[in-house]
Amino acid sequence: QVIIQGFRSYRDQTIVDPFSSKHNVIVGRNGSGKSNFFYAIQFVLSDEFSHLRPEQRLALLHEGTGPRVISAFVEIIFDNSDNRLPIDKEEVSLRRVIGAKKDQYFLDKKMVTKNDVMNLLESAGFSRSNPYYIVKQGKINQMATAPDSQRLKLLREVAGTRVYDERKEESISLMKETEGKREKINELLKYIEERLHTLEEEKEELAQYQKWDKMRRALEYTIYNQELNETRAKLDELSAKRETSGEKSRQLRDAQQDARDKMEEIERQVRELKTKISAMKEEKEQLSAERQEQIKQRTKLELKAKDLQDELAGNSEQRKRLLKERQKLLEKIEEKQKELAETEPKFNSVKEKEERGIARLAQATQERTDLYAKQGRGSQFTSKEERDKWIKKELKSLDQAINDKKRQIAAIHKDLEDTEANKEKNLEQYSKLDQDLNEVKARVEELDRKYYEVKNKKDELQSERNYLWREENAEQQALAAKREDLEKKQQLLRAATGKAILNGIDSINKVLEHFRRKGINQHVLNGYHGIVMNNFECEPAFYTCVEVTAGNRLFYHIVDSDEVSTKILMEFNKMNLPGEVTFLPLNKLDVRDTAYPETNDAIPMISKLRYNPRFDKAFKHVFGKTLICRSMEVSTQLARAFTMDCITLEGDQVSHRGALTGGYYDTRKSRLELQKDVRKAEEELGELEAKLNENLRRNIENILLLLMGKLVLQSFCFVVTIIGLYNFLTHHPGYSVLQTELLCLLTSISALETLLGQQISRSKTTNTLLYFLQENRQLLNERIKLEGIITRVETYLNENLRKRLDQVEQELNELRETEGGTVLTATTSELEAINKRVKDTLARSDDLDNSIDKTEAGIKELQKSMERWKNMEKEHMDAINHDTKELEKMTNRQGMLLKKKEECMKKIRELGSLPQEAFEKYQTLSLKQLFRKLEQCNTELKKYSHVNKKALDQFV
């Protein structure tokens, strides 16, 4: 089978099969692809297409009208049932793929090199030296016309004779080379016999040399061993000193940290006291401003009281004049109301006549329209049946319209009956509302009398509000200081944590806030439980080991399920937010119970954590396989015995895989401690904000609104009654219009029911219509005249007489208040109240001065304490530096001793294997005696410096 795709003229995949085991012939028209099929087989099997340049590979790709082919392949499947190819398969697939920048071979869909393919083909008889298994077009003619010498050469190549000659020459050359090697081997054997005789003599000398050499190595071992033991003893001594120094250094660092904590606490207290002083000074300035304002008010009230006393005698004449003017206004109002009462009945009568005239006019117009329509229908219909059919249809539609109008008229008639039934009731309500309005006016007068009482109460409330403002200002400053402290702690936490992790936490919070704002994915909001660090608590003594164990896993996000995390991540990516997040889905965590060792030297870390039991899987995943051990020795033993991670309280960690990590850990940068401080600051901040929200401002307008509530309620009832009367009056025009429309429809029905053969009187209808038009025009003029009289009288009443009457009543009320002395009494009371407030303000200012002095004294004491703690911190720092230098010296010495120890051990290893007597024979000798014996050995060994040390091995 042959498969071609993208090669020359074969764009789509073409499969050619089956092939005969004998002969196969391909026929077709010109351009059908016979030559390209031949080239495809040659492309895979022949060496002619072996080295192709990029432009040649592109030339082999199909070029047509569609998109350009980027790669092509030719695959040949061989029948290997006779195992001609050295592959244990009945069918073998060979494919060659080319592109603009690639040329690859695949054998049974596995990529192979070109050499592997050539070797495979050569083993099957497709030799590169005998390429005549493919005969091209014209090759037979070329062979037939070739000279005899060339045909002989060709026959030799086809028969393989040339290859045989080449292989024969190679074999002869190889035989000559082998003969030369045999001669060299004989020479070497002769040399070995001579060398054995010499080695026999050297072996005796070597035995004496080995005797003294063993003694030398035993002496050197004893010397090196003594030096090694001495070095080890010094190292143990240094380790003990280092351990003591490390404990002392830890104590000094703890003391230094305590001093720094005290200094930070003092700095915080100083900041708070300075903030308090600033608030008190600001309050004092406000009190000073209030005192100045109160003095101004007192001066105004004193002048006002004096003026009121002068005004009490001069208002009687004005009151008499206003009473006289009010009487005249009431008489004029009564006169105009009588005139209005006489005119309105005439106006209503004319209006009713006008409406009846409009109805008659509409009826006459409809009759004339129907007559004209009858005349037109005379030419419209060709037969009586056709006319009667149209009339029935028209009557049916008119009946439906009449029924609709009747229903509307019935509804309006019912409303009119209800309105008439409630008319008396509405009039009674209106009368009662008028009475209520009079009562409200009396109430307003009473409120006017109480105005100054309310004003005094308002001033008291104003003073209380100022006090609350000052309290609020102080609390705002405390709140700002607490916010600043919170921001500092959050900055420290950010500095101790990676930027990517914190960005991830902020981004998750944004996604959750987006869900809350949109009101979507409530199950996601309920299924997210925050980061690991926010979901547990432990004692401060365990902060270091817990934090070292968890690492960045403290910032993993706990969720109920992988679905919740997927929803969050989808929105996270959709919003294109920054950061790095890792989730712990509780439904996917596979946590098994761990068997902890029963020992007093270690405890499971998870037993020291307090958390919600529903998050047990998450915390077992992070902390479940970690033990807190008493020391590094215990950690090493337990980690090896129980394959668990072990850690000390100082943060030195031993992995169950064998790795040891640890060293000094700066507790000031503890993320758990910082998180605890942030939580505490957030709680205090929330308490301050809640306290601030409790101090609500009192609003004096609420008292006035309460007093005016009844008046608003009565006004509302009055408005509702007016609306009812308006609806009553506005129903009549609609009723009249519907009656008129109904009359027109009945007229149309009557006209249609009349026979067409009757004589129509057009002139009579037209005369009646003109008479109704003239009558309606006269009624319209009369109604407009009466309506103008009513409008003029109502305007004069409302815009002139009644307005002036209200002004006179207001002036009389004001005179009544002044004459009663109410204002003077209220002003005197207000003056006494302002004097009391001035006194209270002055007392509060003195209290603030005393508080400021005491607070400044407290700041000075704190600053002295700060200096003492600074000196202590400096002393601890100097001690730590001195201890560090000593530790460096010990470290250098330890390094030298370790180096010496390694050298001794290296020299002992270089001595090689020693007899058992070498470990005990010279142990009792001193170093001086050992060096003397070693010198003697070296002297004897110098006699055998020429000895062949490999004589024994060479001889054997």
Q: Which of the four pLDDT bands, split at 50, 70 and 90, describes residue 567?
A: very high
Residue 440: helix, strand or coil by DSSP?
Answer: helix
The per-residue pLDDT for 594 is 86
The per-residue pLDDT for 620 is 92
The per-residue pLDDT for 574 is 92
Helix (H) or strand (E) run with residue 476 in it: helix 451-496
The per-residue pLDDT for 114 is 87
Q: What average pLDDT does the chain have? A: 76
**Distance (Å) of CA 746 to CA 193, 265, 764, 771, 772:** 157, 102, 20, 22, 19
Compute the distance between CA of residue 259 and CA of residue 874 in angstroms, rounded to an integer. 9
Higher pLDDT, 880 or 96: 96
Higher pLDDT, 760 or 418: 418
The per-residue pLDDT for 284 is 83
Compute the distance between CA of residue 481 and CA of residue 478 in angstroms, rounded to an integer. 5
Per residue in 849-863, pLDDT (tens digit) is 888 889 888 889 988
Helix pair angle (543-550, 616-623), 10° resolution: 90
Mean pLDDT of 536-551: 90
Per residue in 330-383, pLDDT (tens digit) is 888 788 778 777 777 777 777 777 777 766 666 666 666 666 555 555 555 556
State phi, psi for 392 to the nearest 5 degrees: -60, -40
Q: What are 534's two structure tokens?
A: 């926010």
Compute the distance between CA of residue 899 and CA of residue 151 in angstroms, rounded to an integer. 84
Q: What are 381's two structure tokens?
A: 């219909």
With vertex at residue 129, the alpha carbon angle to CA 127 and CA 135, rounded to the nearest 5 degrees, is: 75
Neighbouring residues of 615: CB distance < 8 A, sequence distance ≥ 6: 529, 535, 558, 586
Q: Which of the four pLDDT bands, split at 50, 70 and 90, describes residue 577?
A: very high
Residue 6: helix, strand or coil by DSSP?
Answer: coil
Per residue in 309-330, pLDDT (tens digit) is 666 655 666 677 777 877 887 8
Compute the distance between CA of residue 93 and CA of residue 107 in angstroms, rounded to an integer. 6
Mean pLDDT of 921-944: 79
The per-residue pLDDT for 330 is 80
Percent of the chain with pLDDT over 70: 68
Residue 585: helix, strand or coil by DSSP?
Answer: strand
Q: Is the pTM of this model over 0.85?
A: no
Compute the distance between CA of residue 394 and CA of residue 377 in angstroms, rounded to an integer. 13
State phi, psi for 472 to the nearest 5 degrees: -65, -40
Is the confidence at residue 717, as pLDDT, over 50? no
Q: Which of the four pLDDT bands, split at 50, 70 and 90, describes residue 528?
A: very high
**Distance (Å) of CA 198 to CA 186, 190, 195, 203, 947:** 19, 13, 5, 9, 12
Of residues 43, 727, 724, 75, the one with CA closest to residue 430: 724
Q: Which of the four pLDDT bands, split at 50, 70 and 90, describes residue 595?
A: confident
The per-residue pLDDT for 846 is 86
Is the confidence at residue 690, as pLDDT, over 70? no
Of residues 856, 922, 703, the one with CA closest to residue 215: 922
Mean pLDDT of 902-919: 76
Running DSSP on this structure, what letter comes out for residue 923? T
Q: Which of the four pLDDT bands, split at 50, 70 and 90, describes residue 767?
A: low
Mean pLDDT of 383-395: 66
Is the confidence at residue 27, as pLDDT, over 60? yes
Residue 507: helix, strand or coil by DSSP?
Answer: helix
Per residue in 605-664, pLDDT (tens digit) is 999 999 999 999 999 999 999 999 988 888 888 898 888 999 998 888 998 888 888 776
Helix (H) or strand (E) run with residue 625 in it: none
Establish whether the linkage from the previous residue to 915 is cis, with ω within 30° of 0. Answer: no
Of residues 7, 122, 142, the one with CA closest to residue 73: 7
The per-residue pLDDT for 536 is 92
Of residues 526, 501, 529, 506, the one with CA closest to residue 515: 526
Q: Which residues of 370-391 are buried (b: 16+ CB within 10 A; e: fewer)?
A: bbeebeeeeeeeeeeeeeeeee
Task: Estimate the share of the chain in helix, then strand, then coil, as percent rounded to the nearest 5.
Answer: 75, 5, 20
The per-residue pLDDT for 45 is 84
Per residue in 152-207, pLDDT (tens digit) is 877 776 666 766 777 788 888 888 888 888 888 888 888 877 777 766 766 666 66
The per-residue pLDDT for 764 is 44
Per residue in 259-310, pLDDT (tens digit) is 888 888 888 888 888 888 888 888 888 888 888 887 888 888 788 777 766 6
The per-residue pLDDT for 640 is 86
**Distance (Å) of CA 667 to CA 144, 260, 738:** 99, 12, 94
Q: What are 170's two structure tokens?
A: 């190679």
The per-residue pLDDT for 449 is 56
The per-residue pLDDT for 189 is 82
Amino acid 67 reads P
Is the confidence at residue 208, as pLDDT, over 50? yes
Neighbouring residues of 8: CB distance < 8 A, sequence distance ≥ 6: 33, 36, 39, 40, 60, 61, 62
The per-residue pLDDT for 698 is 41
Compute the distance between CA of residue 244 and CA of residue 820 in angstroms, rounded to an integer. 98
Percent of the chain with pLDDT over 90: 13
According to CATH, what is the number of the domain 2-128? 3.40.50.300
Higher pLDDT, 602 or 423: 602
The per-residue pLDDT for 726 is 38
State phi, psi for 106 to the nearest 5 degrees: -130, 125
Is the confidence at residue 415, as pLDDT, over 50? yes
| 105 within 8 A of 94, measured Cβ to Cβ | yes
Helices (H), 581-700: 616-623, 632-642, 671-694
Of residues 261, 438, 464, 354, the one with CA closest to residue 775: 354
The per-residue pLDDT for 621 is 92
The per-residue pLDDT for 454 is 58
Amino acid 413 reads H
User: What's the maximum distance between 2 C-alpha atoms anywhere in the chain?
Assistant: 176
The per-residue pLDDT for 513 is 92
Is the confidence at residue 892, as pLDDT, over 80? yes
Of residues 730, 734, 711, 712, the one with CA closest to residue 722: 730
Going by their DSSP bridges, the two strands 583-585 and 557-559 should be labelled as parallel
Compute the distance between CA of residue 941 and CA of residue 947 in angstroms, rounded to an integer. 10
Of residues 73, 81, 68, the one with CA closest to residue 43: 73
Compute the distance between CA of residue 653 and CA of residue 55 in angstroms, rounded to an integer. 64
Instruction: Name the CA radius of gyration of the chain, rounded.
Output: 60
Higher pLDDT, 551 or 473: 551
Domain residue spans in the chain? 2-128
Q: What are 288's two structure tokens?
A: 């000073």
